[in-house]
Amino acid sequence: MTTHDPCSLPAQQLLNAQYLRELAGPQEFDATALELHRADTAAVESAWLARELATVDTATLPQRAEDFEPWYRARFREQVAAAEPFFDHLAQHASLEELSVYVLYEEQVDGRFDDVIAMAQMGLKGAAKVALAANYWDEMGEGDATQMHTRLFCDSAEYFRNAIAGTQFGRFVQPTAEALANGNLLLLLSVRRQHCVRLMGALTLLEHTAPRRFSRAVQGMRRLGVPEDIIYYHEMHVKIDAKHGDDLLNQVVLPMLRERPELTAEVATGVQLRLQVANRYYAMLEDVFASARETGASVALEATA
């Protein structure tokens, strides 16, 4: 299989399949699978990363450790502002069907996040390793398998999947390049160890901005009468991810940059990569919502004609 556009859906599906093969557990691992389409995957991966890096304005990236935090705070505000109209709609106006579409797209994005956190711990020491270990322990439900975040999310997603079963909205939950890229970025930065410094920047922005997403989704769920046991997973992340973001910034990134200031631009690159991939994802969701509303209006007009 070959593809000329590394940002296309086929390219992102190829990458996602390869990353998931490389993260396979021992009970399902087939060593030969690692080589399946490997030449194609490497070429697509290289082209995709080059495309993403080409859109990063390297001249604006901080070069000194002391400049990183104010620059990062500005990128955080930029990410929140870009997504705010979408999440305002989710909280205040979205139908249950629209909310279901959003959650089911988030399911596509998840991208084995617990394994990403596990890999992010590699090579860290002291307080930095403890911060990522605490993050991972939260993902593991603090040792309770019934509280593992992946399991809770799957249970929540199943409720929303049932909510749109048999409706026109089901056809709007299709794999998209933007959704897969949003998950693939973290997989790329974690599976390919040469990008581990960038991973710290991308993870920090993701965790820091997550509480806003979750809080607005929870607001919409309560407005629509979604059961509390379904809301539980989403609500827990409002506080948990705020702490994870603070810990990543203050216990991992800033101490690392004080010790190795020459890594500042590399961490910032990870932040910028996450920002641009996430922004395209939210823009895609807005387009999906608009298409669903237009289709719904057309159906309603036909029914009354």
94 is written with which tokens? 């979205």
Q: What is the number of alpha carbons within 13 Å of residue 26 lying toward its C-beta?
A: 0
Position 302 scores a pLDDT of: 37
* 186: number of Cβ within 10 Å: 28
Length of the chain: 305
In eight-state DSSP terms, residue 6 is T
Position 300 scores a pLDDT of: 36
Of the candidates 277, 206, 284, 264, the one whose C-alpha atom is nearest the C-alpha of residue 55 is: 277
In eight-state DSSP terms, residue 3 is -
* 301: number of Cβ within 10 Å: 9
CB 185 within 8 A of CB 198: no
pLDDT by residue for the chain (305 residues), tens digit each?
455 799 999 999 999 988 988 888 888 776 555 665 567 788 999 999 999 999 999 999 999 999 999 999 999 999 999 999 999 999 999 999 999 999 999 988 776 899 999 999 999 999 999 999 999 999 999 999 999 998 899 899 999 999 998 887 878 788 899 999 999 999 999 999 999 999 999 999 999 999 999 999 999 999 999 999 999 999 999 989 889 999 999 999 999 999 999 999 999 999 999 999 999 999 999 999 888 877 764 333 333 33
CA pair distance 38, 63, nearest whole angstrom = 35
CB 232 within 8 A of CB 152: yes
Q: What is the number of alpha carbons within 13 Å of residue 100 lying toward its C-beta?
A: 22
Q: In terms of pTM, does the model score above 0.75?
A: yes
- φ/ψ of residue 21, rounded to 5: -65, -40
Q: What is the number of alpha carbons within 13 Å of residue 74 lying toward its C-beta?
A: 10
